[in-house]
Structure 1
Amino acid sequence: MSDLTTKERRKLETYFEMGSGCFLDFSNNSLAQFIAESVDIELYSDKYKIGSGSKGNRMRAIWDLEPNQLVGKLIRDIIEDDDDKKLLYPHSKDRNQELKNHCLQIATRLENSNSPVVQPIINQPQTTSTFPPVQQSVPVNRPSAVGVFPPVQQPFSQPVTQQPLVYSKPTPNKNKVFIVHGHDDLAKEQLARFVTQVGLEPIILHEQASSSKTIIEKIEKYADEVCFAIVLYTPCDQGSKIGLTEPSPRARQNVVFEHGYFIGKLGRENVTAIVKGNLEKPNDISGVVYETLDDAGAWKFKLAKEMKTSGCAIDMNRII
């Protein structure tokens, strides 16, 4: 953990405008992406959720949990990024330059700190061991009555068997829902707003930090965190069987692929497809749940029921 003093924290919180849970002019997604690129930290992981889980509180958690050098680098990167914005957008808010210099001095102190993070040592009560302590296998020469020095063997030591490492699969977050989509941004935003409305967090892949991961690596990462997946089928492509002259509307290929992936990953009961318009559906997954994105909004109640049955922490009273 960093060794920021109370006085230093007060200066940083004032400069970064953290009083109401905000953080400068960053949005949730832009701040998460910036921190991921700066220090390779996922801001919205449970590790940094304290209090309301706001941007300001999560930044305080980073200060509390991460070492001096990382915190110092992050502070400096944010201040330099804010300066760049001022150059690009002249109407950006003016900052207190004296306070900015104090914050840069804090960043320098942290970055140049060589003191390691010392973990507290917990005194454990001594217990009687079943086996004698392991001794070094070196003969000990002691004189005998007749002047001969036979080697004295050490007592038998029980070999230590190393336990195999067991991988523990991450527990899905009951508040996160993955949204698979094509090129229909309006329908995508409509789904995302609904998921947020009922108290869940929508995960849209292109809005998440890449952290130098490929697309499939990002899908695998976030698939471990969600409790449910919504697959949005929209007529974004056209295609037909060879020999047919009239192509039919189809969803994007990535939508069909990710639909199958999440069925295998989460189980069919934890995946629902929402269909907008008249389009061709994949034959291999006929029989799975498809709901129509109707103008009346009946899809909202059907989708909410599926998510609640799946175990998502959903508030049905917030559906409007």
Structure 2
Amino acid sequence: MHQIKTEEGETINLYRNGTLQIQASPALKSKFEEDYNQYSGSTSPAPSPAGTSTGQPALESMVAPATSKQVFVVHGHDETAREQLELVLHKLGIDHFVLQNSGGGGLTIIESLEAKIGQNSTATSFGIVLMTPDDMGYAQSHGPDSIQPRARQNVVLEMGMLISSIGRRNMAILVKGHIEKPSDADGILYIPFNNHVKETVPRLANRLKESGFVLNPDKVAHASS
């Protein structure tokens, strides 16, 4: 994935499949749409008809739909898995926030976290924790023979903040491969996958719907493919 940050605060993500995604306020997204139409000569955001090409990505695939519900994404060092998750959420039409993709607004990391998922924050409706085997660790009392893959410590910290802020019923934890899970996090929905985040879509979609998200069945099928 390639990423562009504008002076106005937009984050533009370009995925390997040609999809462009905008992370910005509705006003900035609208301005981007106007600028894009002016540049491309398009008068409609509709994609080009099948079999034709303008040389530009369809605008429909470029601007993430506006929604009052936002998903906060927690992730570690597996950039491929993070990109896969962002693409899945884009296909589902779900607005999401990834701290790494934001400019931070001059805030420290912990201040940014508090603003989005602190106990007094109302910015986040749902949390997805992407647990990937980025670290290795073991209990000193058990010795090095008990070493296991673990998620990054920041992932565990942010997961705890999410539980405190929005409750475990508004969360899903996506677990890649074999990984040691925090023992105090039992009762939270763990959704395993091996090769691609899209393996989690059926169960993730059900969890999102239980939390109040309205999902298009065709988009769910598309995100699973």
- Counterpart for residue 317 of structure 1: 218
Q: How many residues align?
A: 171
Cα distance in 1 for partners of 2:78, 2:138 equals 21
- Counterpart for residue 94 of structure 2: 200
Unaligned runs of 5+ in 2: 11-22, 36-66
TM-score by length of structure 1 reads 0.49
Code of the aligned partner of 2:176:
K
Give the direction of change, closer, same or farther, for the CA distance of 1:310–1:54 in structure 2 (3 Å limit): farther
- Look at both structures and tell me which one has the larger radius of gyration over its CA atoms: 1
| Kept in 1: contact 2:9–2:24 (CA 8 A) | no
Unaligned runs of 5+ in 1: 1-26, 38-42, 59-172
The Cα shift of 1:193 comes to: 0.3
The Cα shift of 1:57 comes to: 4.7
State the Cα deviation string for residues 111-139 of structure 1 (Å, max 9, x = none). Answer: xxxxxxxxxxxxxxxxxxxxxxxxxxxxx
| Structure 1 position 238 matched with structure 2 position 128 | no
The Cα shift of 1:295 comes to: 4.2
State the Cα deviation string for residues 86-120 of structure 1 (Å, max 9, x = none). Answer: xxxxxxxxxxxxxxxxxxxxxxxxxxxxxxxxxxx
The Cα shift of 1:277 comes to: 1.0
Code of the aligned partner of 1:299:
T
SS in 2 for 1:257: helix
Structure ranking higher in strand proportion? 2
Code of the aligned partner of 1:35:
E
- Counterpart for residue 222 of structure 1: 116
The Cα shift of 1:275 comes to: 0.1
- Counterpart for residue 79 of structure 2: 185
The Cα shift of 1:36 comes to: 4.0
- Counterpart for residue 157 of structure 2: 257
Displacement over 3 Å in runs of 4+: 294-298
| Structure 1 position 308 matched with structure 2 position 209 | yes
Cα distance in 1 for partners of 2:132, 2:216 equals 27
Cα distance in 2 for partners of 1:302, 1:309 equals 11
Give the direction of change, closer, same or farther, for the CA distance of 1:307–1:190 in structure 2 (3 Å limit): same
State the Cα deviation string for residues 132-170 of structure 1 (Å, max 9, x = none). Answer: xxxxxxxxxxxxxxxxxxxxxxxxxxxxxxxxxxxxxxx
| Structure 1 position 53 matched with structure 2 position 30 | yes
Q: Which fold has the larger relative contact order, with Cα–Cα distance below 8 Å and residues 6 or more apart in sequence?
A: 2
The Cα shift of 1:189 comes to: 0.7
Q: Following superposition of structure 1 onto structure 2, how do residues 1-320 of structure 1 map, counting pairs within 5 Å? A: 30-31=5-6, 34-36=7-9, 44-46=24-26, 48=27, 53=30, 55-57=32-34, 174-223=68-117, 224-243=122-141, 244-246=143-145, 247-295=147-195, 297-319=198-220, 320=222
Give the direction of change, closer, same or farther, for the CA distance of 1:225–1:28 in structure 2 (3 Å limit): farther
| Kept in 2: contact 1:28–1:55 (CA 8 A) | no
| Kept in 1: contact 2:127–2:170 (CA 8 A) | yes
The Cα shift of 1:202 comes to: 2.4
Give the direction of change, closer, same or farther, for the CA distance of 1:209–1:53 in structure 2 (3 Å limit): same
State the Cα deviation string for residues 275-309 of structure 1 (Å, max 9, x = none). Answer: 00101100111121000124484411110111121
SS in 2 for 1:238: strand
SS in 2 for 1:241: coil
Give the direction of change, closer, same or farther, for the CA distance of 1:221–1:315 in structure 2 (3 Å limit): farther
Cα distance in 1 for partners of 2:215, 2:160 equals 24
Give the direction of change, closer, same or farther, for the CA distance of 1:295–1:248 in structure 2 (3 Å limit): closer
- Which region of structure 1 is more displaced relative to structure 2, 194-203 or 292-301? 292-301
| Kept in 1: contact 2:78–2:134 (CA 8 A) | yes
State the Cα deviation string for residues 192-220 of structure 1 (Å, max 9, x = none). Answer: 10000010122110111211101111112
